[in-house]
C-alpha cells in the first residue's frame, strides 16, 4: 500500500513537472500573445530609432501582434535602457540599444540607475556603422601619414569635433590621436550635425563618424576620408584604406546596435526573439534601409553577441580611461 502511495506521489510529481515544462514551452512558442514594446533611448531619425522601427514592423507583420516603438530620450540613452532593465522579464518590453548605452555610459556617467552587465540580456546584434576618419580639405594632407606628420610638427594646432564629451565620436577621435602619437584639440558640440557644419567650413580639421554623416561633405568636395577603422575595406568605399593599411594597425571603431531584454527573460523567449531578428536581417527592405543609414549587418548567435558585448565592455573601459574622461 505504501509502495502504491509512493508510486502515485512520484507519478503526480512527474505529471506536474511535465505540465510546468509544457506551459513554459507553450509560452515561448506562443510569444507574442499581446503587444510588444520596443524602447530606444534616442529620438526619431537616428540608427537606434531605425533599428527599433524595422524590428517593430517585422514583429507586427510576421506574428500578427502589434509591436510599438517608444522613444524615451535622455542621458545619452540611459533613461530608455533603465526602463527596459526594470521592466517585467517576459519578453514584452525590449530595448534597442546602441553600444554607448551598454559599454560606454557606465564609464562616463556618475549615476547609472542600472547595471549594464547584470540587468540586461544581449539578445541579438543588428548592425554596425564603421567609423571613418575624415579631415577638412583645408588641411594640406592627402593621407593619414601626411596628416600625422603635420600634426607632429605642430602639436595642438589641429582640432577635431565631436557630439560631446564622452560621446563615441569623441572617444573614437581621442583614441585615434593617442594611437597616432599626436596632440589634437577637442571641440565638443551638441551633436555631430553642428560639428559637421564647422568641418565643412574649415573651422575644425577632423571628425570621426560613419559614412551617413559624411556623404554630403564628400559629394561637395569639402572633406577627405583618411581611413576606415575596420579590419577589411568597405564594399561601398573600396579605395579607402583600412586603419592598418593606412599605417595605424589596431585602430578599430564602430557604432553598433542590438536588441536587449530584462535579465531573467526565459531562454526560450530570448531564442524566439533572436530568431525574429535574424529573419528581419534577411529581408531586402530592411537591408536597404540599413545600408542607407551606413549600417552593416551583424550576423551573430545569441551567445556570440553576449560574449561580444562583454569583451567590448572591457575594451571601452580602457579607451575611456586612456582618453582621461571624468564621469559627468
Convert the pLDDT of each residue in 115-174 to its tens digit.
Answer: 999 999 999 999 999 999 999 999 999 999 999 999 999 999 999 999 999 999 999 999
Q: 207 falls in which pLDDT band (50, 70, 90)?
A: very high
- What confidence score (pLDDT) does residue 30 get? 85
308/166 same-domain check: no
Instruction: Quote the domain boundaries for residue 221.
Output: 132-246
184/222 same-domain check: yes
- What confidence score (pLDDT) does residue 328 get? 84
- The more confidently predicted of residues 220 and 265 is 265
Q: 190 falls in which pLDDT band (50, 70, 90)?
A: confident
CATH label of the domain that carries residue 37: 3.40.190.150
91/123 same-domain check: yes
State the total domains in the chain.
2
- The more confidently predicted of residues 297 and 216 is 297
296/200 same-domain check: no
Q: Does the residue 22 lie in any domain?
A: no
Task: Count, in order, helices (H) and strands (E) of the chain.
Answer: 13, 11
Return left, alpha or beta for 250; rule: phi > 0 is left, psi -120 to 50 is alpha, else beta: left
Q: Is the pLDDT of residue 33 over 50?
A: yes
- The more confidently predicted of residues 101 and 27 is 101
**Is 72 in a helix, a strand, or coil?**
coil
Mean pLDDT of 62-91: 96
- What confidence score (pLDDT) does residue 22 get? 41
What pTM value is reported for the model? 0.86
Q: Is the pLDDT of residue 17 over 90?
A: no
273/260 same-domain check: yes
* CA–CA distance, 146 with 202 (Å, rounded to integer): 18
Measured N-to-C along each axis, helices 302-323 and 168-180 cross at an angle, to the nearest 10 degrees, of 70
241/168 same-domain check: yes
Q: Is the pLDDT of residue 21 over 70?
A: no
Arithmetic mean of pLDDT over the chain: 91
Q: 60 falls in which pLDDT band (50, 70, 90)?
A: very high
Q: Residue 82: which of 113, 117, 124, 123 has the closest Cα? A: 113
DSSP 307: H
Convert the pLDDT of each residue in 36-49 to its tens digit.
Answer: 999 999 988 889 99
Q: Does the residue 328 lie in any domain?
A: no
Beta strand segments in 90-217, E: 93-98, 120-130, 132-136, 159-162, 185-188, 206-209
Q: Does the residue 237 lie in any domain?
A: yes
- What confidence score (pLDDT) does residue 14 get? 42
Q: Does the residue 97 lie in any domain?
A: yes
Mean pLDDT of 202-220: 92
CATH label of the domain that carries residue 215: 3.40.190.10
- What confidence score (pLDDT) does residue 1 get? 43
Convert the pLDDT of each residue in 306-316 to its tens digit.
Answer: 999 999 999 99
- What confidence score (pLDDT) does residue 178 get? 97
- What confidence score (pLDDT) does residue 27 get? 58
Say if residues 47 and 30 touch (Cβ distance below 8 Å).
Answer: no
- Looking at the chain, the whole-number percentage of residues with pLDDT higher than 90 is 82
* CA–CA distance, 13 with 45 (Å, rounded to integer): 54
Q: 212 falls in which pLDDT band (50, 70, 90)?
A: confident
Mean pLDDT of 103-112: 95
Amino acid at each position: 500500500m505504501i509502495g502504491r502511495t509512493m508510486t502515485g506521489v512520484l507519478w503526480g510529481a512527474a505529471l506536474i513537472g511535465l505540465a510546468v515544462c509544457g506551459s513554459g514551452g507553450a509560452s515561448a512558442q506562443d510569444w507574442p500573445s499581446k503587444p510588444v514594446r520596443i524602447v530606444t533611448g534616442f529620438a526619431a531619425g537616428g540608427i537606434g530609432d531605425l533599428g527599433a522601427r524595422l524590428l517593430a514592423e517585422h514583429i507586427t507583420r510576421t506574428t500578427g501582434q502589434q509591436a510599438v516603438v517608444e522613444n524615451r530620450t535622455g542621458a545619452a540613452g540611459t533613461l530608455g535602457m533603465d526602463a527596459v532593465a526594470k521592466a517585467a522579464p517576459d519578453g514584452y518590453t525590449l530595448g534597442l540599444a546602441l553600444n554607448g548605452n551598454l559599454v560606454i555610459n557606465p564609464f562616463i556617467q556618475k549615476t547609472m540607475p542600472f547595471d549594464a552587465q547584470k540587468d540586461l540580456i544581449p539578445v541579438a546584434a543588428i548592425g554596425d556603422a564603421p567609423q571613418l576618419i575624415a579631415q577638412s580639405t583645408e588641411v594640406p594632407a592627402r593621407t593619414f601619414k601626411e596628416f600625422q606628420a603635420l600634426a607632429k610638427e605642430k602639436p595642438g594646432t589641429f582640432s577635431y569635433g565631436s557630439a560631446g564629451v564622452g560621446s563615441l565620436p569623441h572617444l573614437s577621435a581621442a583614441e585615434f590621436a593617442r594611437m597616432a602619437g599626436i596632440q589634437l584639440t577637442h571641440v565638443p558640440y551638441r551633436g555631430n550635425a553642428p560639428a559637421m557644419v564647422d568641418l565643412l567650413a574649415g573651422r575644425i580639421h577632423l571628425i570621426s563618424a560613419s559614412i551617413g554623416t559624411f556623404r554630403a561633405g564628400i559629394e561637395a568636395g569639402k572633406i577627405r576620408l583618411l581611413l576606415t577603422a575596420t579590419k577589411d575595406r568597405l564594399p561601398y568605399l573600396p579605395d579607402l584604406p583600412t586603419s592598418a593599411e593606412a599605417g595605424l594597425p589596431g585602430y578599430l571603431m564602430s557604432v553598433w546596435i542590438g536588441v536587449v531584454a530584462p535579465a531573467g527573460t526565459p531562454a526560450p523567449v530570448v531564442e524566439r526573439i533572436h530568431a525574429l531578428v535574424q529573419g528581419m536581417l534577411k529581408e531586402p527592405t530592411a537591408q536597404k534601409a540599413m545600408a542607407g543609414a551606413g549600417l552593416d549587418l551583424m550576423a551573430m548567435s545569441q551567445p556570440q553577441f553576449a560574449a561580444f558585448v562583454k569583451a567590448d565592455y572591457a575594451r571601452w573601459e580602457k579607451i575611456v580611461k586612456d582618453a582621461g574622461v571624468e564621469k559627468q
